[in-house]
Structure 1
Amino acid sequence: MPIYELLERIKPRPGMYLGKKSITLLKAFISGYYFARQTNNVAILEEIPPFGKFHDWIARYYNWESSTAGWNNIILQELGDEAKALDVFF
């Protein structure tokens, strides 16, 4: 399943997939998704736009010069609340 399709499934019921509404838990879920695909030799389909570039886009959007904080931490820092940050992500 492509990442964007998976995110569309998570969006209406994040608690079912993540345990609670949390941008940090979403990031962990997505990392696990990519890890499982890679570990099991499941091809990662070309994504448009490429999800791997999302961090750079978020950093530019919030005017962070350079950051290795991770897209989830940038959004969380800007919003100050896990649930609000998840809402903004979606």
Structure 2
Amino acid sequence: MTIHEILPYIEQRPLMYLKTKDIYLLDSFIGGYLSCQQIHDKNFNDINFQSDFHEWIRKKFNFDLGFTWADYIFKISQNENTNSVDVFFREYYLFKKEQ
């Protein structure tokens, strides 16, 4: 299962996968999932997901370098007064649509 296949499940029931609906927990989940996938499945299709998404979100919102994609999402969510995980999924689907 790729990261793109599991993310819709997390979106539907985030508290089944994360202790709280928090972008930093989602970031940790994704990082762990991708690490495990690469170690055990030898599936390298998703290897660039985090760096590609990071660069896309950074350019879209004109953020400075030096922060993680989760930091960018958190900042956006604070500005919009919206849950950070909801912001992630909104931006993730836009990112995916452009890919």
The corresponding residue for 1:54 is: 53
**TM-score, scaled to structure 1:** 0.82
Distance (whole Å) between structure 2 residues aligned to residue 72 and residue 46 of structure 1? 17
1:69 to 1:2, Cα distance in 2 relative to 1, 3 A: same
Q: Which has the higher helix share?
A: 2
Identify unmatched segments of 5+ residues in structure 1. Answer: none
Distance (whole Å) between structure 1 residues aligned to residue 21 and residue 29 of structure 2? 12
Q: Secondary structure at the match of 1:77?
A: helix
**TM-score, scaled to structure 2:** 0.75
1:76 to 1:38, Cα distance in 2 relative to 1, 3 A: same
Q: Secondary structure at the match of 1:30?
A: helix
Within-5 A mapping of 1:1-90: 1-45=1-45, 51=49, 52-64=51-63, 66-80=64-78, 84-90=83-89
Let me know the Cα RMSD of the aligned residues. Answer: 2.1
- Give the share of equivalent positions with the same residue, in percent: 36
Distance (whole Å) between structure 1 residues aligned to residue 46 and residue 33 of structure 2? 15
Q: Which of structures 1 and 2 has the larger relative contact order (alpha carbons within 8 angstroms, sep 6+)? A: 1
Identify unmatched segments of 5+ residues in structure 2. Answer: 90-99
Aligned residues: 86
Which stretches of structure 1, 4 residues or longer, exceed 6 Å deviation after superposition? none
Q: Secondary structure at the match of 1:80?
A: helix
